[in-house]
Structure 1
């Protein structure tokens, strides 16, 4: 495992992708990165970076080789992040894992080197002594930001896995056990038109089909409620998808609607996201 360094304007949780200003800088990073490598994020000393983050080690990312667009994620924009309506770091790499560094030491406590512009635009490998000091710090794993539904569909199409069908219905014990081991989604659907705001929490082998089933009964075209996919996460097994559903509903038990145990009400998007990303990372 090699540790790299890059400079950023800040650090947010849940953690978005590793961002770059151009596809060229991203491609340069891909040429350097190997499986298991990690990138240490250091706040710049410029005015764009919050004072408590300037010149400090903020977090660590383990990027994948999956190229993404930064705006496929609900990244938190700061003043100056856009020029003529264009985001300054439009391309990125999907992360496999991410950690905060609660101690946030100054960069000069880790290294006495002067890092060039390469560290602001791309990634620079740390030498052994620097890497050892970083590895000795306390690392706290954080939830990852999930790409939008549209982005996940686009990535699935790129990999030739866009169409994921549910296992065939079965009544045999062996068949049921097989279905439990089949990939499935945990989902959160916004119940559009509900007052107060509401989300339907559940799991399904095909969350889009489930939304169509709900809307077929709700008849939104005639003024009924509409179920709109808001968040979803694909698990390796239906058992995992069900476990996250139950963990979310238990965590939000004070918000569960009295007439439907899978609907939570009175939640903002941010509040639902906080619970959702905790559920994805197994922290509920």
Structure 2
């Protein structure tokens, strides 16, 4: 196991990915890192770093070889983190574990050498004597930030892993609260076979499974209506999915069917698409 050092603008808990300004610097780190290696984070001396963190050893990460996009995590942004709308450290490596160092010693107490730009952009190996001083400090394990639901879906597709399933039903308070925090979709399904253009708007942990359930009940093969997914959006929590569903139904309240208030009729595709985009961006 080897230790490396990198300089950062601060240390936040929960802990996000190990971030880099370019994919080149990330790839360079990947070439050096081996399973189990640690990266020590030290606050820069610049104004971008909070004064209490400047020049101090803040924390330790155990990165994985999994490349990620930094903004796939809800990282805490500071003034100056964005330039012309672009995040300065867009790429990163997923972390397996992370520790804060409550003592936060000055870097000069750990090492007497000067670290070059490589330590600000990438990672630099530490000497055995420096590692010994780091290991002698108190380590406090911290919670890791999790990627957004959309990012988890993308990574699952990339690695060919099983797709996320809905949480098991529960009647306990803790179980219900857990379900509310689970990722879920807002969906709009076209009601094929209706006399006028109509959509069913709702939310579900698995919108494809929901479509199968609806079609099983309506039996389109025997002349019934068919529910075909038109738009869907994956949210980090069921609360968010439900909130967008309700905002859409309120937007089209005058078009809701008297027998099923989750179905809106006489709605144009373009009008639904416009409202959908606004709902996803939180402007509905």
**What TM-score do the two structures reach when normalised by structure 2?**
0.62
Structure 1 unaligned segments of length 5 or more: list them.
Answer: 167-184, 193-206, 218-226, 233-284
1:188 corresponds, among 174, 181, 206, to: 181
Aligned to 1:230: 236
Question: Matched residues in 1 for 2:116 and 2:25: separation?
Answer: 14
Matches within 5 A, 1:1-284: 1-163=1-163, 188-189=181-182, 208-209=205-206, 229-231=235-237
How far residue 162 of structure 1 moved from its aligned partner, in angstroms, is 4.8
How far is 1:189 from its partner? 4.5
TM-score calculated relative to the size of structure 1:
0.62
Deviations 1:90-115 (A, max 9, x none): 00000000000000000000000000
Aligned residue pairs total 192
Q: 1:155 to 1:187 in 2, by over 3 A?
A: farther
Quote the Cα distance in structure 2 between the aligned partners of 1:29 and 1:20.
9
Structure 1 position 188, deviation (Å): 0.9
Distance 1:165 1:74, change over 3 A: closer
Structure 1 residues 151 and 164, CA, compared in 2 at 3 Å: closer, same or farther? closer
SS at match of 1:62: strand
Q: 1:209 offset after TM fit, Å?
A: 2.7
Deviations 1:140-192 (A, max 9, x none): 000000000000111111111153569xxxxxxxxxxxxxxxxxx97615899
Change (3 A) 1:211 1:55: farther
| 1:15-54 deviation line (CA, Å, top 9, x unaligned) | 0000000000000000000000000000000000000000
Please give the alpha-carbon distance, in whole angstroms, between the structure 2 residues aligned to 1:212 and 1:97.
35
Counterpart-to-counterpart distance in 1, 2:237 and 2:184: 12
In structure 1, distance between residues paired with 2:184 and 2:161: 28
Max Rg structure:
2
* Paired residues of 1:188 and 1:229 also in contact (CA < 8 A): no
Offset, 1:228: 7.3
Q: Stretches of 4+ moved more than 6 A in 1? A: none
1:153 & 1:228 partners in 2: Cα distance?
Answer: 9
Q: Tell me, which stretches of 5 or more residues in structure 2 are unaligned?
A: 167-177, 186-203, 215-232, 239-284
